[in-house]
Amino acid sequence: MTLTPVKTPLAVKKMFANYIWDIETKEKVIYLTFDDGPTPEITHWTLNVLKTYNAKATFFCIGNNVEKHPDIFQNILEEGHAVGNHTQNHIKGWKTKAKDYLANIQSCENVFKIQIPKSKFVNQKSLIVNRNSSIINLFRPPYGQITPKQGKKLIELGYKIIMWDVLSFDWEQETSKETCLKNVTSKATSGSIVVFHDSIKASKNMQFALPKVLEYFSEKGFAFESIS
């Protein structure tokens, strides 16, 4: 069982203040994020559920998965969601040299550059206008692993490194679907960035928890927006 907390401690946020853990807002807004897709078995389902609640989200996609399933990537854009870079092959930053890590991220960005111009429904807030910068300026490190050197360089390149305020633990096989739901409903608040996964591994817990999370917070007057 991981020792990672469900809600990121304030001390950690202050220690790594150059990363984005939550979004300051006076509105009742929650930012749902989905990692590791697109995945045929689960991403379409996720999009349909989000649409039911008029919810927007941010999908941190693996470049290799986008290459395999470009149609699903296009569906994400067509539904008005934001997309972010999650590396080409879901590599671990702590075990990868900075040069190789950045090259892997660039490979993912290159895949995005091929796909994004094909869409007429791109969420323009997720793009950087400056042609010298990255086309997608949102990045989440797989496993949350990123070294100071890697992070510094990515920020210099124009990326916003998106971490999280609340983890659902949907991927954790020892976490029950009920606990996954409670993790979010008991810890998320205005401005929270919440992590789910549109992956096969997480599907059992996520498919149980997501509709209930959307219903729970919608009844409390919350909206769900993508990260810009």
- Which of 35, 165, 170, 198 is catalytic? The answer is 35
Catalytic status, residue 165? no
Per-residue pLDDT of the chain (228 residues; tens, 9 = 90+): 567 999 999 999 999 999 999 999 999 999 999 999 999 999 999 999 999 999 999 999 999 999 999 999 999 999 999 999 999 999 999 999 999 999 999 999 999 999 987 765 444 444 433 333 445 799 999 999 999 999 999 999 999 999 999 999 999 999 999 999 999 999 999 999 999 999 999 999 999 999 999 999 999 999 999 998
What pLDDT is recorded for position 127?
Answer: 44
- Which of 69, 81, 86, 197 is catalytic? The answer is 197
User: How far apart are alpha carbons 210 and 42 in whole angstroms?
Assistant: 12
Residues linked to residue 162 through DSSP beta bridges, in sequence order:
20
Catalytic status, residue 197? yes
Residues linked to residue 33 through DSSP beta bridges, in sequence order:
58, 195
What pLDDT is recorded for position 53?
Answer: 97
User: How far apart are alpha carbons 170 and 180 in whole angstroms?
Assistant: 6
User: The domain 10-224: what is its CATH number?
Assistant: 3.20.20.370
pTM for this one? 0.93
Domain ranges for the chain, please list them.
Answer: 10-224
Question: Which residue type occupies 109?
Answer: E
What pLDDT is recorded for position 117?
Answer: 73
SS3 per-residue string spanning the chain: CCCCCCECCHHHHHHCCCCECECCCCCCEEEEEEECCCCCCCHHHHHHHHHHCCCCCEEEECHHHHHHCHHHHHHHHHCCCEEEECCCCCCCHHHCCHHHHHHHHHHHHHHHHHHHHHCCCCCHHHECCCCCCCCECEECCHHHCCCHHHHHHHHHCCCEEECCCEECCCCCCCCCHHHHHHHHHHHCCCCEEEEEECCCCCHHHHHHHHHHHHHHHHHCCCEECCCC
User: How far apart are alpha carbons 101 and 143 in whole angstroms?
Assistant: 14
Q: Give the angle subtended at the CA of 130 by the CAs of 124 and 135, to the nearest 5°.
A: 55
